[in-house]
Amino acid sequence: MQATPPDTSAAATAVQAQPRRRWLSWVVGLLLMALLVGSAWWLVQRSKAPAPAPGRVSGGPPPGAGAGRLAVTVGSASAHRGELPIYIEALGTVTPVVTVALKPQVSGVLTEVRFTEGQGVKKGDILAVIDPRPFEQSLAQTQGQRARDEAQLAAARVTLQRYQTLWAQDSIARQEVDTQAALVKQLEGTVQSDRAAEDAAKLNVSYARIASPITGRVGLRAVDPGNMMQAGSTTIATLTQMAPIDVQFAVPQDRVPDVLAAQRTGQLPVVALDRTRSRVIERGSFSTLDNVVDTTTGTVRAKARFANADSELFPSQFVNIQLRLGVASGVLVPVTAVRTGPKGDYVYVIDSERVAHMQSVKRGLATTDQIQIVSGLNGGELVVTEGGDAVKDGARVQLAGDRPAGAAPGAGATNRRARGASAPGPSASQASAAASRPAAGAIEARSAATPASAASSPEWASRLSPETRQKLMAMSPDERRAYLEQMRERRAQGQGPRRE
């Protein structure tokens, strides 16, 4: 039985279709790959373009910008030569010059407390009283003992004089005279001891009245009247001297030579600031450095003294200390002008053509708002301070105070408004002719400028509705250009039959 011809032709057709399908799959794959490569190239080129400046419609070329490159609006400042104050800033702790723990020197019952907690006292003020009666009795006893011994001493001295007279008459032996003289010496020593005991008793009586040893402020009371006080162990209160007062802070060991060198030139001013560094609490002077470096922190303790007449500084308070060592002369720029890159510190210098150039610099000392440039920059050069992240080396920039593209110099907007008020409004035919004539480049230039300058152009913006004008300002440059072309074509088509 023979195979039918249709089956043979169908198999031959299927065999011929296989190479054609493989060829089509290769073509489709190459097209997809080309599309991916083109999309990647477009994204890379788009990322290289600088970001548009704030406050300007994207795509509006600033004055002097090249085709396809947009200028970035930046903040700028002029580098100038001046003096930069040299400070050492640290966190300090307020420390009283004198701190006294008020403790009794004799034991007894506390009968009176004559101070109020937190009261300011002067040196010598009586603050507390311990029952003095036991000490007064001891004083009286020592006084009686001294009187008795003094009487015995007087009698011994009279007897000695008699013995000396009898010995001169050769009536008694020499031994009796010497014995009486020794007795007089013994009684003199006893009287001297009695006087010392009497002075000690008087001292104990005075210790029963506890006086303030310094002028300062009394803290909280720790013992109430009626309690038994033990000598040297019970604390009644704590006294601190408030004026003057010290502040202790740490100085890095690398700055110690600078501090010592500045201290030789004179007294160093110190400022105590509050926690936010916004208010000056007190002004004082630097006192001294410690004689050893703390090995755990690598710093040296330092001390400054403040008058503290208004008691603004309080013991154990934390304050920010600013120690001024002097001034350093050089080129100064704002801190925001200096940037750090792979090759070190640099700034963007703006030339007369509004082109930014990257320039390497070497920084010196710095404060919170200014920084010293040791080398790489001259006084009078204009540097970028804001918007430097979007600036490229050799790219054009636009300063914040420059006029945008398309804006008339001076009071151009005022003149246009004056002309619009004095001249009659254009007719419909004049408006159509103005829209169809080949002056669309000026319209596109005005539409690419800032929204403020576009809104002030009565030649074309006044004929648009608010919704259309807002939509136009939100478009990209390419979309805006295509939209204007469509408007011109539509108007030209509508005007053709009327011209016929």
In the three-class reduction of DSSP (H, G, I as helix; E, B as strand; rest coil), residue 200 is classed as helix
Most confident of 14-28, 34-48, 341-355: 341-355
The answer, yes or no, to whether residue 205 has pLDDT greater than 70, is yes
Q: Is 101-237 assigned to CATH 2.40.50.100?
A: yes
Integer Cα distance of 132 and 107 in angstroms:
10
| For range 281-286, the mean pLDDT | 96
Q: Given a cut of 90, is residue 401 above it in pLDDT? A: no
Range 18-46 average pLDDT? 80
Put residue 297 in one of left, alpha, beta given phi > 0 → left and psi -120 to 50 → alpha.
alpha
User: What six digits make up the tokens of 187?
Assistant: 């009684």
Q: Which residue has the higher pLDDT, 39 or 447?
A: 39
Least confident of 100-104, 158-162, 373-377, 493-497: 493-497
- Residue reference for tokens 């009187």: 147
Higher pLDDT, 431 or 335: 335
Residue 269 has pLDDT above 50, yes or no: yes
Averaged pLDDT of the chain: 81
Asked, colleague to colleague, whether 101-237 and 241-328 share their fold, the answer is no
Higher pLDDT, 345 or 55: 345
Question: What contacts 337, CB < 8 A, 6 or more positions away?
Answer: 77, 79, 347, 348, 371, 383, 384, 385, 388
Question: Using one digit for the tens of pLDDT, what is the confidence trace for 9-23?
Answer: 555 555 555 666 777
Return the closest-CA partner of residue 63 out of 439, 351, 449, 458: 449
Q: What was the pLDDT predicted at 456?
A: 42
Most confident of 365-374, 399-408, 469-478: 365-374
Q: How many angstroms separate the CA atoms of 280 and 278, rounded?
A: 7
| pLDDT of 63 higher than 60 | no
Average pLDDT over residues 124-131: 95
By C-alpha distance, which of 282, 385, 283, 287 is closest to 338?
Answer: 385
Residue 425, pLDDT above cutoff 70: no
DSSP 426: P
Q: Kindly tell me if the per-residue pLDDT of 458 is higher than 60.
A: no
Average confidence (pLDDT) over 130-149: 95
pLDDT for res 359: 92
pLDDT of residue 480: 75
Give dist(CA 66, CA 68) in Å, integer: 6
Parse the chain into domains and list their residue ranges. Answer: 101-237, 241-328, 427-499
Which CATH number does the domain 241-328 belong to among 2.60.40.10, 2.40.30.170, 3.30.1490.480, 3.40.640.10? 2.40.30.170
Confidence (pLDDT) at 437: 40
User: Residue range 167-194: average pLDDT?
Assistant: 92
